[in-house]
Amino acid sequence: MTNQHLKNKNVLIIGGSTGMGRATAIAAYELGANVTLTSREHDKAVTAAAAIGAEVKGYALDINSEQAVLAFFETHSSIDHIYIAAGSTKLSAVTEGILEDQMKAFNERILGSLRVVRATANKINPSGSITFTGGVSTDRPIAGAWVSGLGTASAEQLARVLVMELPHIRFNAVAPGYTDTPMWDAILGENKTVILASVAERLPVKKIATPEEVASAVIFLMCNASVTGEVVHVDGGLRLI
């Protein structure tokens, strides 16, 4: 693998306005890829893209909408690599609330990913790839985050089952542990720094992952043409403690 692998390749980041998606867009751009990123909001997508580079394109796309996904890919073909970072987290007790509401975050991640796969099955170039986002809650589930655990496990399993369905595409997943992104600002608010610091103290690596570290794993999965059906963990050793 060399840094030339992404030069002039068409890389699409779904959920590329912030966090690990944005970091992957930057990394791919720096390696010479033609990068397109999406956000649910048009202006946010355009602003995020322009902040990376004038050639980077930004579009609105909500993967909750099958119609929107199909319409988007009608005008976007010849894709080499897709990274799906899009997703949100729903914290709730399994015995309370309305199940259909709680499962929205699961459906967003899994049905949303499947919509993208269906729409692009014939549009990915040879040696191309789709990378999903799993997570450490597959192996280290935590109370209140059961929807996330189901979602990350399913995203990782998607990478395996789809290899058998569509072997001309490489499917993989990155499985981040605690990573300092705007997702945690939304969940923890002003307590974020203190809580993430206490998590870091428990980790073998004594630090929270950066979005750039997750991005570097995604870039590896895009570039290595022999890696498929794989899950790469970027969790600071959390699964071992």
CB of 86 to ligand NAP, least distance (A): 3
Burial of 98 (0-12, 13-18, 19+ CB in 10 A): exposed
The residue number whose beta carbon is nearest to ligand NAP equals: 19
For ligand NAP, the binding residues (CB under 6 A) are: 14-21, 39-41, 44, 61-64, 85-89, 108-109, 133, 135, 176, 178-179, 181-184
DSSP H/E element including 215:
helix 211-223
CB of 5 to ligand NAP, least distance (A): 23
Q: Which lies closer to ligand NAP via its Cβ, residue 41 or residue 66?
A: 41
Q: Which lies closer to ligand NAP via its Cβ, residue 140 or residue 160?
A: 140
CB of 51 to ligand NAP, least distance (A): 13
| Amino acid at residue number 23 | A
CB of 31 to ligand NAP, least distance (A): 20
- On whether the CB atoms of residues 140 and 180 are closer than 8 A, the answer is no
| Amino acid at residue number 185 | D
- Sheet containing strand 124-133, strands side by side: 57-60, 34-39, 10-14, 79-84, 124-133, 170-176, 230-234
Q: Which lies closer to ligand NAP via its Cβ, residue 18 or residue 92?
A: 18
CA gap 157, 134 in Å, rounded: 9
For the chain, the straight-line distance linking the first and the last C-alpha, in angstroms and rounded, comes to 32
CB of 235 to ligand NAP, least distance (A): 8
Q: Which lies closer to ligand NAP via its Cβ, residue 45 or residue 162?
A: 45
CB of 168 to ligand NAP, least distance (A): 25
Q: Which lies closer to ligand NAP via its Cβ, residue 30 or residue 41?
A: 41
CA gap 149, 232 in Å, rounded: 16
Burial 99-125 (b: 16+ CB within 10 A, else e): eeebeebbebbbebbbbbbebbeebbe
